[in-house]
Amino acid sequence: MLTEALMQRAGEVKNEVLRGVYRDSVELMQITERLKATPGVIDAAVVMGTDLNKKLLREAGLLTPEGERAGPNDLVIAVRALEETSRLIGLAKEMLEGLSLQHAGRYKSIEDALASNPDIRLAVISVPGRHVEGLARKLIERNVNLFIFSDHVPLEVEIELKRMALERGLLVMGPDAGTSIVEGVGLGFANRVRRGQIGLVGSTGSGLQEVTTVLDGMGLGVSNAIGVGGRDLKDQVGGMMTVQALRMLQNDPETEVIAVISKSPGPSAVSKLAEFVRKEIRKPVVFCLLGLESRNLGGVKNVPTLTSLAIELARAVDESVAQRQLDRIHDFIDSVKGRVSGGDGLVRALYCGGTLATETIELLCGAGLKVRSNVEHKCAELLHASEAAGHSVVDYGAEEFTEGRPHPIIDPSLRNDRASEELRRPEVKSVIIDVVAGTGAPADLIERTVKALDIDGTHAEKLVVRYVGTPSDPQSSDLPMLEKTGAIIAPTNAIAAITAVYMLTGQEGLVHELLRKFVIGQGR
């Protein structure tokens, strides 16, 4: 450790700022890794000059006065090396030019792409939020459905794009659409799950991934999972695309039962949605609206967690499948008894998936814990994301972490570094993390996470992991590597949170009360 610390301070640090140059954060991450692997390089980073990225460069000892002057629309190349930093900066620029050459063979405009492919009916948009509007308008005017992965899109732009789409009978999935599965094809972050008769609509990405993977583990499948963007069920947007997606699932012959997933929806939007479902949807529909105050939804069942939603959907298909899942959950809780000691301590939950973070807040609050979080929630005190105070839940997919850098599902290094710190704090009794596999996640996700956590037996006993994946996901072949650490791997996110409560309190009665209230899934 001492040698490593001395090496971090050794060598020359050089920055070069490329003004007005933008590259995708995933591409920059790839160039950074290639540059770090170059002989003579001690450390390196190629990032956009956002405040967060400059803060991270500063903490790593990689920021010079020139880099400090970079703005969010500028690209910063930072290198620490024993010698020839100028040559290494030049090498990074060659890598960037190589990317530009790779891109040269692609279509130069939307018009060119549509002219060459007149049958296109779906487009994926993943550009900085400020550039989304013009692209999206052109595509909607050409009757193309959209999956908008981009975040930081102004709310008024989202509302106008969705109004345009509704007039043409189109879907706008997003902005900030993390996940969709359309006719078996995953968009954004998605897992390889079975095809089946269950249709899902979600204003959440990780929520859709959680439910689809739990269903897959139960032997059930999905017809379509339509992600409509995190703000669709806010009152300002009014659930425009949720309604549109429900219409499509109603008309889909493969879909027999439907679920709607959201976190912190607006009460007005929910009332309108429930009325629409009662009047126009003839198939069974179940809601899981995290953060919603208890209310009468006029006969539409609303269950409290993503786990209880999966169980409720299983009941609609085959009661015996639901019962087997409940039996597995009770067996899992029995299996962790030997890891429970109880007493004083803290729970720290660190997430890549925002919906999973929201669900954990609800469960920790339901256990009577006072929770702090960077997620706005009725029962959590607001926490600055970098703080470590009390029982806390941090969403590393929040916008303060993702401007100018990859989403943590793509690059979980910030979260993993924080988890490693928390595991070593003596006052922390349990640490919850999610490991989200599938499309968009790195192939070496598990290896990278295990290496970053650097856990031995003592620290591993504190770690509770929710692995969001299926046996068909490519990352799952490395799952034994995670199991060998000794960490507890929970079957669902809700069970991960309940396990952390069990480890903290040692109260078996409280655990069974949480299971009854949040998992068995009889609605509200």
Confidence at residue 7, expressed as pLDDT on a 0 to 100 scale: 41
Strand pairing report for 12-18 and 75-81: antiparallel
Average pLDDT over residues 301-317: 95
Where residue 2 falls among pLDDT bands split at 50, 70, 90? very low
Which of residues 9 and 273 earns the better pLDDT score?
Answer: 273
Confidence at residue 34, expressed as pLDDT on a 0 to 100 scale: 87
| Residues 172 and 241 sit within 8 Å (Cβ to Cβ) | yes
Confidence at residue 295, expressed as pLDDT on a 0 to 100 scale: 57
Which of residues 449 and 37 earns the better pLDDT score?
Answer: 449
Confidence at residue 463, expressed as pLDDT on a 0 to 100 scale: 96
Confidence at residue 427, expressed as pLDDT on a 0 to 100 scale: 94
Q: Sheet containing 195-202: which strands, arranged edge to edge? A: 185-188, 179-182, 222-227, 195-202, 257-263, 285-290, 301-302
Which of residues 331 and 458 earns the better pLDDT score?
Answer: 331
| Residues 89 and 44 sit within 8 Å (Cβ to Cβ) | no
DSSP 169-210: T--EE-SS--EEEETTEEEESB----EEEEEEEES-HHHHHH
Q: Distance from CA of residue 455 to its chain's centroid?
A: 24
Confidence at residue 56, expressed as pLDDT on a 0 to 100 scale: 87
| Residues 99 and 115 sit within 8 Å (Cβ to Cβ) | no
pLDDT at position 256 over 60: yes
The model carries a pTM of 0.86
Bridge partner residues of 490 (DSSP): 466
Confidence at residue 3, expressed as pLDDT on a 0 to 100 scale: 38
- In the chain, the domains with their CATH numbers are 2-103 (3.30.70), 107-175 (3.40.50.720), 336-518 (3.40.50.261)
Which of residues 423 and 59 earns the better pLDDT score?
Answer: 423
Q: Which of the 8 DSSP states describes residue 404?
A: T
Confidence at residue 169, expressed as pLDDT on a 0 to 100 scale: 95
Confidence at residue 100, expressed as pLDDT on a 0 to 100 scale: 55
pLDDT at position 326 over 90: yes
Q: Is the dihedral of CA 322, 277, 239, 200 positive or negative?
A: positive
Q: How far apart are CA 100 and CA 94, in angstroms?
A: 10
Q: What whole-number percentage of the chain has pLDDT above 90?
A: 68
Where residue 23 falls among pLDDT bands split at 50, 70, 90? confident
Where residue 402 falls among pLDDT bands split at 50, 70, 90? confident
Least confident span in 43-47, 104-108, 142-146, 330-334: 104-108
Q: Sheet containing 122-125: which strands, arranged edge to edge? A: 122-125, 145-148, 172-173
- Tell me the per-residue pLDDT of 43-84, one tens digit each, with 9 for 90 and over: 999 999 988 889 889 988 999 999 999 998 899 999 999 888
Average pLDDT over residues 368-382: 91
**Residue showing tokens 């770690």:** 463
Average pLDDT over residues 483-508: 96
What is the chain's mean pLDDT, rounded?
90
Q: How far apart are CA 31 and CA 45, in angstroms?
A: 8
Confidence at residue 364, expressed as pLDDT on a 0 to 100 scale: 97
Cα angle at 187 between 273 and 449, to 5 degrees?
110
Single out the residue of 401, 478, 418, 484 nearest to residue 444, CA to CA. 478
Single out the residue of 243, 246, 247, 248 nearest to residue 232, CA to CA. 243
| 288 contact partners, CB below 8 Å, separation of at least 6 | 207, 211, 259, 260, 261, 262, 302, 303, 304, 305, 306, 308, 309
pLDDT at position 449 over 90: yes
What's the chain's length in residues? 524
Residue 386: burial class (beta carbons within 10 Å; 0-12, 13-18, 19+): exposed
Where residue 4 falls among pLDDT bands split at 50, 70, 90? very low
Cα angle at 18 between 124 and 102, to 5 degrees?
45
Cα angle at 209 between 456 and 165, to 5 degrees?
145
Average pLDDT over residues 407-433: 93
pLDDT at position 104 over 90: no
- Alpha-carbon separation of residue 401 from 51, 60, 386, 422, 464 (angstroms): 10, 17, 10, 19, 23
| 13 contact partners, CB below 8 Å, separation of at least 6 | 61, 62, 63, 64, 78, 79, 80, 85
Q: How far apart are CA 178 and CA 119, in angstroms?
A: 25
Confidence at residue 523, expressed as pLDDT on a 0 to 100 scale: 40
Confidence at residue 474, expressed as pLDDT on a 0 to 100 scale: 94
